[in-house]
């Protein structure tokens, strides 16, 4: 039976220092060597995604932007973007709600109307007047605020998009209404001849809920948000204590 392992990166595959243990790498290689598939799924953009994946695992596709695109090396396997009109409606609603620090992800480049270093460290960013930016579509809009963003905010966004609050409430990640990690997974499993019940999904944050809920087996990390643990079929150990490897060794390998 072919199985598919879908792995979130930050807080799941990656330890807090953004590395992956050799034990986890070897467990994943052994899993794949049994004629199974591995797919990474992250909120990160393509330019960042492969940077944190260990060299021995870079031959697996990655879902980026919470599901707005899927890449295999430099090839785009799937994408779902927002229109310019939707993006400008988001800006208007964000400012009306008191959120003025806004970023766009367009063609694997980050644009912002403020210095993003407090949120994204040294990530290359072009600071511009977002309303005047020459664009047709965007993969993602990110609202940033040091004060936790209101849980009500995503509910007042245009119905052509949806927002997910992550990172301890400091980010609201906004994508097309149809975007999710799970929908991106669905775009490829027929090609791989894999059924939903043969998918095992690992995650820790709100943007992992959809795939953990719908996968044949949803696994929450020990460090996951409470609602993720409540949704999952299993709760494994933390990202700092070999959670993925322990689950695989105890249940599959």
The domain limits of the chain are 4-80+179-251, 82-176
Instruction: Quickly list DSSP for 37-105.
Output: EEEEE-SS-HHHHHHHS-GGGTTS-EEEGGGTEEEETTEEEEE--EEHHHHHHHHHHHHHTT--EEEEE
Round to whole Å and give the CA distance between 201 and 218.
5
What stretch of H or E contains 102? strand 101-106
pTM to 2 decimals? 0.85
Round to whole Å and give the CA distance between 89 and 103.
14
pLDDT, tens digit, 9 for 90 and up, residues 123-160 = 899 999 998 899 999 999 999 999 999 999 999 999 99
pLDDT, tens digit, 9 for 90 and up, residues 150-165 = 999 999 999 999 998 9
Round to whole Å and give the CA distance between 7 and 41.
6
Query: What does each C-alpha distance from 200 to 6, 130, 146, 232, 249 come to in angstroms?
Result: 6, 39, 34, 11, 14
Band (174; pLDDT cuts 50, 70, 90):
very high
Query: What does each C-alpha distance from 187 to 30, 37, 180, 196 come to in angstroms?
Result: 25, 15, 11, 12
Mean pLDDT of 10-33: 96
Joined together, the tokens standing for residue 98 give 């008191």
Domain 4-80+179-251 has CATH 3.30.420.10: no
Fold match between domain 4-80+179-251 and domain 82-176: no
Using a 10 angstrom Cβ sphere, with 0-12 exposed, 13-18 middle and 19 or more buried, the burial of residue 138 is buried
On the question of pLDDT at 219 being above 80, the answer is: yes
CATH class of 82-176: alpha beta
Closest CA to 5 of 43, 56, 178, 27: 27
pLDDT, tens digit, 9 for 90 and up, residues 39-96 = 999 989 998 888 899 999 999 999 999 999 999 988 999 999 999 999 999 999 999 9
């Amino acid at each position: 039976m072919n199985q598919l392992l879908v792995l979130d990166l930050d807080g799941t595959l990656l330890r807090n220092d953004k590395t992956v243990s050799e034990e986890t790498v070897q467990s994943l290689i052994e899993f794949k060597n049994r004629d199974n598939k591995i797919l990474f799924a992250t909120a990160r953009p393509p330019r960042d995604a492969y940077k944190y994946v260990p060299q021995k695992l870079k031959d697996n596709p990655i879902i980026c932007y919470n599901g707005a695109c899927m890449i295999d090396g430099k090839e785009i396997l799937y994408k779902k973007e927002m229109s310019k009109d939707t993006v400008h409606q988001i800006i208007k609603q964000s400012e009306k709600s008191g959120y003025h620090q806004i970023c766009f992800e367009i063609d694997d480049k980050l644009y912002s109307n403020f210095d993003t270093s407090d949120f994204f460290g040294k990530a290359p960013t072009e600071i511009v007047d977002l309303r005047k930016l020459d664009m047709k579509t965007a993969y993602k809009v990110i609202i940033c605020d040091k004060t936790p963003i209101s849980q009500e905010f995503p509910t007042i966004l245009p119905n052509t998009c949806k927002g997910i609050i992550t990172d301890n409430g400091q980010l609201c990640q906004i994508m097309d209404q149809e975007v999710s990690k799970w929908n991106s997974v669905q775009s490829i499993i027929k090609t791989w001849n894999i059924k939903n019940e043969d998918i095992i999904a690992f995650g820790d944050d709100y943007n992992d809920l959809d795939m953990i809920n719908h996968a044949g087996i949803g696994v929450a990390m020990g460090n996951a948000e409470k609602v993720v643990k409540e949704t999952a079929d299993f709760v494994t150990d933390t990202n700092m204590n070999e959670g993925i490897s322990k689950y695989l060794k105890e249940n599959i390998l």
